[in-house]
């Protein structure tokens, strides 16, 4: 959607009456002379609130003489006129628009008018972006990330949806200079960011949906109808590359498209996924001297967001964590304060493991608020979580709540069938059937409820017999749970419970966890040395 252009189409001026929830009718006017944007499904024009000079009963959109209305030029709106056969998405965010109207068989949507500039593919066509400081770019990126939260996580407000058509023309960035609070201080600059045109919004479902959108922004999994938060963040990726100075993220893709004019939609998307976005020129336009390690981490994360395979991209939680920490780091650094904690949060969100080898970084982690610790533990992933657990035990620094949360996260990741080893093919799974997941769910339940009696019961033996077939990679986790449940047993007051027979019966004896040998732990899960 480009900036408004004057266009004398000779169309009749139209007034649009809208009845509000309180019954009051308000009016909007457009002569269709200013085009805000044009697409395959609709055209968008600039309009205005207005008052009728001679109040009369107007129940629907009507042709009107411009001399019969008082136009409120300081109160603009965007009027979207759909082409025949097209309608607004039923899942679109409705807070920025009025209910659709119908004009001679065509739907009309009156929306909030958003000032600002779009993000063009080439950096040289983005003079406003080239003028931004690094912090302003970070702030814009952060706003674009959190701006998707109202769609992705509606909770009680309705179905969670994806935007479905994130691209440069569907984003507006506004740079506002605020009046200085002090005569001796320079005026501050504020960045406002907003998404436009969510007509391709779709619910986030586990079933395939019809693919729509701009090929250059489509994640590969969308060809299978797999819409998710990550498909939106994939589409956002090249816009973030542009904001941080990439010369043209689409350069290689557009060259391929121009050289293959007969190639269809699906073929283009597949080849675009192979080619990837071009980060050339990243950070090159910023005037300030930037931290090289920060730039490398940011570049790495941006490219992770647009990875070909969905499973290789950071989670939506990791994306929010990364850009929130990046923004906070910039603010603290600007004020001359220590920002090391934010660097650590960024490294964890980006999936880095080197911080685990640095004891000072681990100590920094242990010093974090418990809520932040729990949030970051969820981002570690199984492999790093196992490593972190061993280091926590060695350091004797993470409190029991943190340890318990770490174990719960590990079990839940395995139950959800997430990969333990990144080197394993994404198509592979630990479990050939959902049976093991059921047993792990039981194990998690025993752990969360601290129910050692259930764990050492006859029914528990049935589940443990299945866990004997667990892959070697998860044996350490099961051993950890056994240790914790044994600690619960050693401190618990005995209650009547059915005794199990055989090799598992010895674990009904109360004794300190430290006396629980590795050989006996192995017997519990079916692996003897």
Reported as a single tens digit per residue, the pLDDT across 118-131 is 999 999 999 999 99
Q: Which residues of 212-231 are buried (b: 16+ CB within 10 A; e: fewer)?
A: bbebbbbbbbbeeebbbbbb
In whole angstroms, give the CA distance from residue 448 to residue 450: 5
Mean pLDDT of the chain: 84
What pLDDT band is residue 97 in, cutting at 50, 70 and 90?
A: confident
In whole angstroms, give the CA distance from residue 226 to residue 269: 14
Question: What is the reported pLDDT for 139?
Answer: 98
In whole angstroms, give the CA distance from residue 222 to residue 228: 9
Residue 526 pLDDT > 60: no
Question: What is the reported pLDDT for 49?
Answer: 97
In whole angstroms, give the CA distance from residue 402 to residue 88: 47
CB 397 within 8 A of CB 366: yes
What pLDDT band is residue 82 in, cutting at 50, 70 and 90?
A: very high
- pLDDT (average), residues 270-296: 96
Q: 10 Å Cβ neighbour count for 270?
A: 16
E strands present in 335-401: none
Domains of the chain: 5-112 (3.30.200), 123-309 (1.10.510.10), 435-524 (no CATH)
Please list the alpha-helical segments (H only) found in 159-277.
Answer: 229-243, 251-259, 265-275
What pLDDT band is residue 183 in, cutting at 50, 70 and 90?
A: low
Question: What is the reported pLDDT for 95?
Answer: 65
CB 193 within 8 A of CB 172: yes
Query: In the chain, what percentage of residues exceed pLDDT 70?
Result: 83
In 3D space, the residue among 355, 397, 343, 404 whose CA is nearest the CA of residue 380 turns out to be: 355
Least confident window among 147-161, 260-274, 444-458, 486-500 = 486-500
In whole angstroms, give the CA distance from residue 246 to residue 281: 5
CA 271 to chain centre: 24
In whole angstroms, give the CA distance from residue 494 to residue 490: 10
CB 129 within 8 A of CB 242: yes
CB 249 within 8 A of CB 241: yes
In whole angstroms, give the CA distance from residue 84 to residue 253: 32
The SS3 call for residue 173 is strand
Residue 10 pLDDT > 50: no
What pLDDT band is residue 293 in, cutting at 50, 70 and 90?
A: very high
CB 467 within 8 A of CB 526: yes
Residues paired with residue 37 on neighbouring β-strands, in sequence order: 44
Question: What is the reported pLDDT for 405?
Answer: 85
Token pair 């093991």 is found at: 436
Please list the alpha-helical segments (H only) found in 207-357.
Answer: 229-243, 251-259, 265-275, 292-305, 316-334, 340-349
How would you classify the pairing of strands 62-63 and 14-19?
Answer: antiparallel
Reported as a single tens digit per residue, the pLDDT across 13-35 is 999 999 888 889 999 999 999 99
Give whole-number Cα distances, 355 to 41, 216, 395, 397, in Å.
Answer: 49, 35, 14, 16
What does the radius of gyration of the chain's CA atoms come to, in whole angstroms?
29
Higher pLDDT, 226 or 181: 226
Q: Which residues of 111-146 are buried (b: 16+ CB within 10 A; e: fewer)?
A: bebbebbbbbbebeebeebeebebbbbbbbbbbbbe
The SS3 call for residue 181 is coil
Question: What is the reported pLDDT for 181?
Answer: 66
438: enclosing H helix or E strand: helix 435-448
Least confident window among 103-117, 291-305, 320-334 = 103-117
Question: What is the reported pLDDT for 177?
Answer: 83
Question: What is the reported pLDDT for 343?
Answer: 98
Maximum CA extent, the chain = 96
What pLDDT band is residue 448 in, cutting at 50, 70 and 90?
A: confident
CB 151 within 8 A of CB 93: yes
Model pTM score? 0.82
Reported as a single tens digit per residue, the pLDDT across 45-55 is 999 999 999 87
The SS3 call for residue 193 is strand
């Amino acid at each position: 959607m480009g900036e408004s252009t004057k266009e004398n189409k000779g169309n009749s001026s139209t007034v649009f009456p809208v009845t509000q929830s309180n019954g009051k009718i308000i009016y909007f006017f457009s002569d269709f002379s200013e085009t805000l944007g044009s697409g395959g499904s609709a055209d968008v024009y600039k309009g205005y609130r207005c008052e009728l000079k001679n109040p009369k009963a107007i129940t629907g959109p009507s042709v009107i003489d411009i001399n019969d209305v008082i136009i409120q030029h300081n109160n603009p709106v965007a009027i979207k006129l759909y082409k025949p056969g097209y309608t607004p998405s039923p899942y679109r965010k409705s807070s920025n628009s009025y209910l659709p109207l119908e004009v001679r068989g065509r739907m009309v949507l009156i929306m909030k008018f958003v000032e600002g500039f779009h993000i063009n593919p080439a950096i040289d066509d983005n003079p406003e972006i080239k003028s931004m400081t690094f912090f302003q770019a970070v702030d814009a990126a952060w706003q674009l990330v959190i701006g998707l939260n109202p769609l992705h996580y509606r909770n009680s407000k309705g179905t969670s949806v994806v935007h479905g058509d994130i691209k440069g023309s569907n984003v507006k960035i506004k740079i506002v200079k605020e009046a200085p609070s002090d005569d001796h201080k320079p005026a501050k600059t504020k960045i406002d960011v907003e998404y436009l045109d969510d007509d391709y919004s779709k619910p986030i479902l586990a079933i395939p949906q019809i693919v729509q959108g701009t090929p250059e922004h489509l994640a590969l999994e969308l060809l299978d109808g797999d819409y998710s938060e990550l498909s939106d963040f994939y589409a956002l990726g090249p816009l973030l590359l542009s904001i941080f100075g990439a010369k043209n993220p689409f350069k290689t893709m557009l060259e391929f498209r121009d050289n293959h004019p007969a190639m269809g939609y699906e073929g283009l998307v597949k080849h675009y996924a192979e080619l990837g976005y071009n980060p050339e020129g990243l950070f090159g336009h910023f005037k300030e001297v930037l931290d090289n390690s920060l730039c490398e981490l940011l570049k790495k994360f941006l490219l992770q967001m647009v990875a070909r395979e969905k499973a290789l991209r950071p989670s939506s939680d990791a994306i929010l964590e990364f850009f929130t920490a990046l923004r906070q780091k910039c603010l603290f650094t600007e004020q001359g304060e220590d920002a090391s904690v934010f660097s650590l949060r960024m490294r964890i969100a980006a999936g880095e493991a080197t911080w685990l080898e640095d004891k000072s970084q681990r100590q920094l982690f242990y010093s974090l608020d418990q809520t932040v610790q729990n949030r970051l533990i969820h981002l570690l992933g199984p492999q790093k979580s196992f490593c972190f657990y061993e280091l926590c035990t060695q350091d004797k620094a993470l409190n029991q709540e943190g340890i318990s949360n770490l174990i719960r996260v590990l079990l839940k990741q395995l139950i959800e069938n997430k990969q333990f080893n990144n080197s394993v093919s994404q198509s592979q799974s630990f479990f050939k059937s959902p049976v093991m997941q059921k047993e792990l769910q039981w194990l998690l339940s025993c752990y969360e409820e601290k129910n050692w009696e259930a764990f050492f019961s006859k029914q528990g033996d049935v589940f443990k017999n299945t866990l004997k077939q667990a892959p070697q990679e998860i044996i350490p986790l099961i051993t950890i749970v056994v240790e914790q449940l044994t600690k619960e047993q050693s401190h618990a007051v005995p209650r009547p419970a059915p005794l199990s027979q055989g090799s598992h019966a010895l674990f009904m004896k109360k004794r300190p966890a430290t006396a629980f040998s590795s050989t006996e732990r192995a017997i519990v899960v079916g692996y003897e040395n």
